[in-house]
């Protein structure tokens, strides 16, 4: 990877909507990228707002391009390195990195070890090894279905979705009634799963079909590895679920973040633009734009600060 500073500027001016400032310094360019903890010469790096960082450390390296939070301009005013300042340096860094070092392109592929019973598979779809696609499944265009995935029943997947290895979708949920002998009897499930566009589902996650209605995953939803999404759950657009368990018939609002190892009880409504803290156990509804944390979870503050900036 060889990148000149003027090439970065040209890309940002023509092909991205990122807002940034540039300190008007130049260098011979960079060859790689690196995290802060492993700095080396000729690297693209990014740093968030952090007043405790030793910014003088940058000066012992050659040919860095620094993507920094705009609040760090004072600390970097004397650096010899070119800097791009942004309110979201992480997003700016990865926009640049992805443009000059694009990720692997999967393309159209169907593994010979996959079992595909459906004839409703879109264009440019990748289906990996030992994956099962049931006959009632519909998959949109430009999807990536990786290895050892099982999708059964009435499941509809939109365009540009990524289903990581080990995902299981479409099985019955955990619901039981008592029979005449007072033994546990499974409740039959007649629903399906609807998944929107640009959804990503992490490895070994389970998504259960609805009991009567469908389980619904909105557009641009991102679900981490090792999550459980129970029957009849509705996750609205742009929500993020991180190593969490969502109980049945719960609604997760738009742009809501459900944090690491949290649990949301069944039948709740979590509003839009909410944050559920790591390890939280949510047993009550959470209104829009609130942060809930703890066991049991309690509302601790608003998600937007006095300047209207979203904060986790």
Taken in order 240, 242, 53, 80, is the CA torsion positive or negative?
negative
**Whose structure tokens read 């949510």?**
282
CA distance 150 to 166: 7
CA distance 274 to 139: 30
Token readout for 161 is 């979705």
Strands 269-270 and 290-293, bridge-based pairing:
unpaired
Contact 133, 121 (CB under 8 A): yes
Q: What are phi and psi of 84, to 5 degrees?
A: -115, 125
Among the options 99, 124, 231, 261, which is catalytic? 231
231 flagged as catalytic = yes
Within 8 A by CB and 6+ apart from 217, the residues are 193, 194, 195, 196, 199, 201, 207, 223, 229, 235
CA distance 252 to 246: 9
Beta bridge partners of residue 256, listed in sequence order: none
CA angle, residues 20, 21, 26, in degrees to nearest 5: 120
Helix (H, G, I), strand (E, B) or coil at 259: coil
- Catalytic residues, by residue number, are 231
């Amino acid at each position: 990877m060889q990148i000149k500073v003027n090439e970065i500027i040209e890309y940002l001016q023509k092909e991205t909507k990122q807002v940034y400032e540039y300190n008007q310094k130049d260098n011979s360019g960079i060859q790689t990228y690196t995290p802060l903890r492993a700095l080396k010469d000729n690297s693209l790096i990014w740093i968030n707002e952090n007043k405790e960082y030793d910014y003088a450390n940058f000066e012992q390296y050659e040919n860095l391009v620094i993507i920094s939070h705009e609040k760090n301009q004072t600390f970097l005013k004397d650096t010899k390195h070119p800097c791009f300042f942004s309110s979201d340096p992480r997003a700016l860094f990865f926009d640049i990195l992805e443009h000059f070092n694009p990720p692997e392109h999967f393309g159209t592929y169907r593994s010979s070890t996959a079992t595909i019973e459906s004839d409703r598979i879109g264009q440019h779809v990748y289906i990996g090894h030992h994956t099962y696609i049931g006959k009632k499944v519909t998959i949109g265009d430009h999807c990536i279905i990786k290895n050892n995935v099982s999708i059964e029943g009435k499941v509809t997947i939109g365009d540009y979705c990524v289903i990581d290895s080990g995902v299981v979708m479409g099985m019955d949920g955990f619901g039981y009634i008592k029979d005449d002998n007072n033994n546990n009897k499974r409740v039959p499930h007649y629903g399906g799963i609807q998944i929107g566009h640009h959804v990503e589902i992490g490895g070994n996650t389970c998504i259960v079909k609805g009991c009567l209605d469908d389980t619904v995953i909105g557009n641009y939803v991102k679900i981490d590895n090792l999550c459980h999404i129970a029957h009849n759950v509705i996750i609205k657009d742009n929500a993020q679920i991180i190593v969490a368990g969502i109980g049945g018939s719960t609604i997760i609002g738009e742009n809501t973040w459900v944090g690491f190892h949290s649990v949301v009880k069944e039948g709740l409504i979590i509003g839009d633009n909410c944050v559920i803290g790591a390890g939280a156990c949510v047993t009550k509804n959470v209104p829009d734009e609130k942060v809930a944390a703890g066991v049991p979870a309690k509302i601790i503050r608003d998600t937007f600060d006095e300047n209207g900036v979203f904060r986790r």
